Each structure stands twice: as C-alpha cells, then as structure tokens.
Amino acid sequence: MTTTTTDIPSAVLAALALPPLAGLDEPRASGRACVWERERLTIETAVDLGEQLAPADSASTIGQRWFPRSCHKHLAQRAHDALFTHSRQCDDCKVPDKCDVGRWMYRLMREHRR
Ligand SMILES: [Zn+2]
Ligand SMILES: [Zn+2]
C-alpha cells in the first residue's frame, strides 16, 4: 500500500499523542524520519499525518507549521496503544460505532498493520 493518510481529526491526533515539535530533531520535524522512532522514511513507508500547528507552550516553536510523518508499523502500534488507553476512559466506546476516536484508531490499526 502506497497511499498516505490525511485529514486525521485533531482529537484522534491528540489521542495518538504526537511528540511536541520543540523536542524533535530536524529529520523528524521535517517529516523525513518517523516521528515516533526516528528511522528514515521512504515514499513506500511514509504515512502523512497532516499539517500540525505547534502549540504556544514552547517559545521556540510558537505557531510553527510542521508536517509529521510516520511509518505504517509505528502508526498501527500507536493506534493500538491509544485505543487501549482511550477506551478505558470513554463512555462512547462502550457503544459499538458511536465513538469517532475509537473508530479512527481501529481504522488506523487495520490499514497500517504489517
Ligand atoms: Zn516508525
Ligand atoms: Zn471513545
């Protein structure tokens, strides 16, 4: 699969817990390396996580736009972990198909598992 994932809702990205831009090295901040484990990405392995706006909590990166990318494997792993954490504190997840975040995590796991 060579498609990229875009338009992930911000609530889903928040649950995935992207690392803050301020703490990243240049390859990860620029999307050339996996945002989670910093291995190099190629066109085949990269998943586009969409444009992010750095929050105003760190002076050096206020309002900076960046485009994190992940590999398939780590995105699926992250979605798995995030779903586990999220679903334990989410009432909507107790009802099948009700929770958007839960649905997205399932979808990310399915589409990117290797
Ligand atoms: Zn990775
Ligand atoms: Zn939920």
Ligand with the closest atom to the CA of 76:
1
Average pLDDT, the chain: 88
Residue 95 belongs to domain spanning: 3-112
pLDDT for 6 equals 58
Ligand with the closest atom to the CA of 33:
1
Ligand with the closest atom to the CA of 84:
2
pLDDT for 58 equals 59
pLDDT for 20 equals 87
Check if the beta carbon of residue 7 is closer than 8 Å to that of residue 50. Answer: yes
pLDDT for 2 equals 47
State the average pLDDT over residues 71-75. Answer: 96
Q: Kindly tell me if the per-residue pLDDT of 4 is higher than 80.
A: no
Residues comprising the chain, all counted: 114
> Separation of 28 CA from ligand 1 center, angstroms?
10
> Separation of 111 CA from ligand 2 center, angstroms?
19
> Separation of 112 CA from ligand 2 center, angstroms?
20
The token pair at 60 is 């050096």
pLDDT for 22 equals 85
Question: Looking at per-residue confidence, does 22 or 91 come out higher?
Answer: 91
Domain count, the chain: 1
Ligand with the closest atom to the CA of 36:
1
pLDDT tens digits, one per residue of 23-58: 899 999 999 999 999 999 999 999 999 888 876 665
**CA-CA distance, 75 to 65, in Å (whole number)?**
21
pLDDT for 106 equals 95
**CA-CA distance, 78 to 25, in Å (whole number)?**
20
State the average pLDDT over residues 90-95. Answer: 95
The answer to whether the Cα torsion of 16, 20, 25, 29 is positive or negative is positive
